[in-house]
Amino acid sequence: MLAATSHGIDGILAECGGNAMCATCHVYVDESWLGRLPAMGSEEDALLDGAAAERRPTSRLSCQIKLTPDLDGLVLRLPDRQV
Ligand code: FES
């Protein structure tokens, strides 16, 4: 989320500033990367149920994805809306 907002990527609103309270940082993770991300927490899981756009099996909240060197090249797609 921070990488997107600090580089002017439209489509990531991050209204709560990354505090796992808004779901406006919803992204779809490319399937080839799903297994390399840390497991989803219960708060993230619950928030995704209320995301504005369709929730998919690849949905995550980008504020809950901590970028590490292992995630270099991570492919994410944006939903059609965040609110
Ligand atoms: S920025 Fe609000 S849940 Fe991610």
Q: What is the pLDDT of residue 66?
A: 95
CA-based end-to-end distance of the chain? 16
Question: What is the dotted CATH code of the domain comprising 2-77?
Answer: 3.10.20.30
d(CA 13, ligand 1 centre) in Å: 8
d(CA 7, ligand 1 centre) in Å: 17
Q: What is the pLDDT of residue 63?
A: 98
Low-confidence ranges of the chain (pLDDT < 50): none
Whole-number Å distance between alpha carbons of 43 and 33: 21
Q: What's this model's pTM, rounded to 2 decimal places? A: 0.96
What are the boundaries of each domain within the chain? 2-77
Q: What is the pLDDT of residue 81?
A: 97
Instruction: Write the pLDDT tens digit of every residue in 2-12.
Output: 999 999 999 99
Q: Does 46 sit in the ligand 1 pocket, CB within 6 Å?
A: no
Atom of ligand 1 nearest to the CA of 14: 1
